[in-house]
Each structure stands twice: as C-alpha cells, then as structure tokens.
Amino acid sequence: MQDNIKLATRESPLALRQANIVKEYLLENNVFNKIDIVAMSTSGDKADNETFKRNGGKGLFLKELENSIDYLTKAENKNFSVVSISLPFNFKFSDQENEKLIELMSLLKKNYNCLVALKFISLNNKLLDFIDAIGNKNLISICAIPPITFSQNSYADIESHKLKNSICNDTELYTQLLQLFVKYDIIPQALISSPDDLRLVASLHWHFKTPRPTYQFVFSTDYVLGFPVEDYALTAYLNLLDRVAPSSSWSIIGLGADIKNLLPRVLMEGGNITFGNGCGVDEGISHINQKVMNVTDLLESNGSTVAHVEDTHFLITDISNE
C-alpha cells in the first residue's frame, strides 16, 4: 500500500464529484492511506467566459492532439486493446485539425496493436466527410452511432432554472453515417440511454446490414439522461437487449454516477465496463489504470480470466460480424 497521493481534477462540480468517487473507491480498496483532491482550471475551462478565439481557438484541441501523439510516441506499453478518440462538441474539422487527427490515427494503426474508435454526439457534413476519408485509409475500426436526440440537462440545471436544449441529429445525416459503416465495415458503438435508443439501433442494424453494433448502457445520477444506478435498471436494459439484439456485445458507462455497485453483476453477466470517459491523457491515465487493476482483481476472484489484446480484438470483431 502506498502512503499519500494528490488527485488532480478540474474545478467543475461534475469533475469534483467524479474525483471524490475515485478517491472513495481507492480508499475502500486500501490502495492509498490518504488522498488529497487538488482542483485546477485548464485552458478549456478558462475559455468558458470568453470567446473561444480569444483563448487560442482551434489551437486548444490541436494542442491536445499533439500531446497525445507525443505521449504515444514515447510510451513503452503498446498493448492497447481499444483507443477511443472523443471529438469536442464544436470541433470544426479544419485542414490542420484533420491532418493531426489522421497523424494520430496512423500512429496508432502502425505502431500499436489496437482498434481505433471515434466518439462524438453531434452529426454534421464535415464529420461524415472525415469518417469517409479515414475509412478509406483503413484507420478506424469502431465509430459512435449517437442518439438522434440527446438531453444535456443535469439536476443542477433544473434547480437553477437553466435548462439546455437537447441535441437533435439530422436523420438524413444519420442514414449517411450508417452507409459509411457498411462501406468500410466499421463497427457501430451505440450510446443507449432509453428503450427507444436500443430498439432503433437494433432495427437500423438489420435494415442497413451494418456490422453488429456494440451497446453502451448509460447510468446517471447527476443527469436526467439514462437510468439511475440500480440493479433493476440493468435488468431492464439486458431484457430488452435479449429481445431485440441477442448475443450482442455490451458495456455500462456512468455519466455523473458511481457505477461500482453494478460491476460484479456486469462481469458475471458477460458485460464490459467503460473507464476514463472525459479524462485527458495527462490527468486520467494513472487513476484509470488503478480502476482497471481493481476490476481485474474482482474478475479473477470470481474465477474468470482477463482477455488479452488479441482476445479483445477477436471478441469485438467476431461478434460484430456474425
């Protein structure tokens, strides 16, 4: 057991809550004797009250891409199963941004034994053009299939009377995205927060003949999106999945929620767990690794084994191409 660590986090209420969840989890599992949370502001946080352009504009995300490329170039561990790249909501797809993204994906494809996944919430024509380009270069294996509508509201928003508009994706663009999945044999990864999300994605898969989707079930405490972290909710998700998309790969993800109470059942039911949602390379790696180690111990204590990189690739691609 190590003595003390400092856990750095952004200053937002959601980030602080997530940091405290990690702190409690590590203390409960006797990983550290003492954990101090240190809140700090990033350049992106400071841009909230000023114009994006005044604070570096597109350079903010470009810098993150450059840092990621530098990190991957120097990293000794090259056994990554899946690397997900999450695009900012207002990503502009400039020539410079696209060039850096392709450089990052090419590096992952060439030097790492991993599947590359692209995540986003909002569809637009430039995004589809970019997916077409990286699909043509065989740089992408998994791609988000976002909900047609997506609520951004938290309970804090409701209490402060500051409701946000839901994100609504154009159905014609949705159709074009599905056609790209078929064209380049890309595995759809669906974010599921309601029964209609699940039924829609399953129906679209059969209609468009895409590779079989993987499903991410959303659980939330701070947001109105998805189910609360309760056993009955996981049962509801799994019962419907068994009806509309039996034998599909699935995982759970927490949005402003502590999902660790569901982990034993998820593992026993053959599901997966998504870690690191919203974490940057420089602030999340060590803490995510510790979560993975804890879950690995839990899995092995139940008599199961952890899939290696090659096994993970087989499980994802084999299930998706049945």
Residue bearing tokens 């993975």 = 292
Phi, psi (5° rounding) for residue 111? -105, -10
Q: Is the pLDDT of residue 213 over 90?
A: yes
Can you tell me whether residue 87 is helix, strand or coil?
coil
Q: At what angle do helices 125-136 and 171-184 cross, to 10 degrees?
A: 0
Under DSSP, the state recorded for 178 is H
CB-based contact 208:179 (threshold 8 Å): yes
Contact indicator for 58, 96 with CB cutoff of 8 Å: yes
User: Could you tell me which CATH number the domain at 42-320 has?
Assistant: 3.20.20.70
| Residue type at position 239 | N
Mean pLDDT lowest for which of 18-22, 176-180, 257-261, 308-312? 308-312
- Locate the domains of the chain by residue range: 1-41, 42-320
Q: What is the DSSP letter of 123?
A: -
Higher pLDDT among residues 264 and 25, named by residue: 264
Q: Specify the higher pLDDT residue, 315 or 50.
A: 315
| pTM, rounded to two decimals | 0.69
pLDDT in tens, 107-154: 887 777 678 889 988 899 999 999 999 999 999 999 999 988 888 888
Burial class from Cβ neighbours inside 10 Å (0-12, 13-18, 19+) for residue 118 reads: buried
Per DSSP, the three-state class of 226 is: coil
Mean pLDDT, rounded, of the chain: 76
CA 167/CA 122 separation, integer angstroms: 7
Please state, in angstroms and rounded to a whole number, the distance separating the CA atoms of residues 176 and 123: 10
Burial class, 211, CB count within 10 angstroms (exposed 0-12 / middle 13-18 / buried 19+): buried
Give the count of alpha carbons within 13 A of 14, CB side only. 18
Q: Give the rounded percent of residues in the chain with a pLDDT score beyond 90.
A: 33
pLDDT above 50: residue 281:
no
C-alpha–C-alpha distance, residues 282 and 64, integer Å: 9
* Structure confidence at residue 316 (pLDDT): 60
- Predicted local distance difference test score (pLDDT) of residue 23: 72
Nearest to 180 by CA among 234, 230, 136, 236: 136
Q: Mean pLDDT lowest for which of 30-44, 217-231, 234-248?
A: 30-44
